Amino acid sequence: MIETDLLVIGAGPSGLFAAYYAGFRGLSVAVIDSLPELGGQITAMYPEKAILDVGGFPTVKGRELVEGLVTQADTAKPEYLLGRTASSLVSDAEGVEVGCDDGTVVRAKAVLITAGIGKFAPRPLPVGGEWVGRGIEFFVPSFEPYRGKDVVVVGGGDSAFDWAQNLEPIARSVTLVHRRDAFRAHARTVAQVQASSVEIITKAQLSAVHGDASVTSVELALDGGETRELPAQAVIAALGFVADLGPMKEWGLTLDKRHIIVDSAMRTNLERVFAAGDITEYPGKVRLIAVGFGEAATAVNNAAVVIDPTAHVFPGHSSEAD
């Protein structure tokens, strides 16, 4: 049994900032995450990606942002419970009890859910499943392994274009393959990739993967029935992810599809349970890291009053603290 003032479920950017802010409010805090490392989706999916929409940073790599957030959160001396999934939650007027899949039980005076998109799994390619880990990857935690290689990126969203753009100066060649001639990625990034040496092939799908111990080439099925073979020692599948709230669906939360409904104080329908970040839904919601930071601070400040009714929602500015 672990006891704490505030339990944060989710160790992504919003969760890490919430841990810091809990410490600023003088609260003890514990953080649960099913991933073995801090940083949530950023650490798992795009640690090398340049993030452009965080206040004060014209550009910052994902891993650098996480490192800063961890250093900031460490001032609160949080207890991290990583590699564990919160499997049950029961709340009442006295507190909230959360059970983990490894048998750990956390008793908190309030809970803040910052679980992002929940558990996520990459969408598979139509072929080549047997090559995953031997040339086909879904994440790019580091660009260096792709140096001097022929790389094929499959997809038309932000991740596909970001990875193509970042790998272009490192790889021998980069080819981006998409089944349609329209893209979901940000228009500016699309324009930059189109102006680079990256070859973009549209109305095409991966139809075969060839190799011995690892991938050596891929075959594309083109619109019109033609085929084309490309040299490739690496294939990055960027087809998006399937997200699932997992056990949270059974906790009695009011949901809108895979998001938790909250009010302006980040309160859920459950007593002493708050939520912040990408997992929340309310009118006008915008899913940005910067928004998640503000929601985390709002949630912690309102939770502080639930934990200690003599406290104030607004504690003053951090610059006024000793």
The tens digit of pLDDT for each residue in 160-209 reads 998 999 999 999 999 999 999 999 988 999 999 999 999 999 999 999 99
Please give the DSSP secondary-structure letter assigned to residue 165: H
Read off φ and ψ for residue 303, nearest 5 degrees: -65, -35
pLDDT recorded at residue 243: 73
pLDDT exceeds 90 at position 237: yes
Judged by average pLDDT, the poorest of 17-21, 50-54, 67-71, 217-221 is 50-54
With contact defined as beta carbons under 8 Å apart, do 114 and 276 qualify?
yes
Q: Domains along the chain?
A: 2-120+241-320 (3.50.50.60), 124-237 (3.50.50.60)
**Binding-site entries:** 14, 33, 41, 46, 86, 120, 278, 319
Please tell me what DSSP assigns to residue 27: -
**What is the pTM for the complete model shown?**
0.77
Give the annotated binding-site residues for FAD. Answer: 14, 33, 41, 46, 86, 120, 278, 319
More confident residue, 25 or 314: 25
One-letter amino acid at 101 equals D
Token couple for 193: 């990739």
Alpha carbon distances (Å) from 267 to 59, 80, 95: 32, 23, 15
Q: What is the mean pLDDT of residues 213-239?
A: 95
Kindly indicate the confidence band of residue 322, based on its pLDDT and cuts at 50, 70 and 90.
low
3-state secondary structure of 121: strand
CB atoms within 10 A of CB 139: 16
Between CA 61 and CA 143 the distance in angstroms is 12
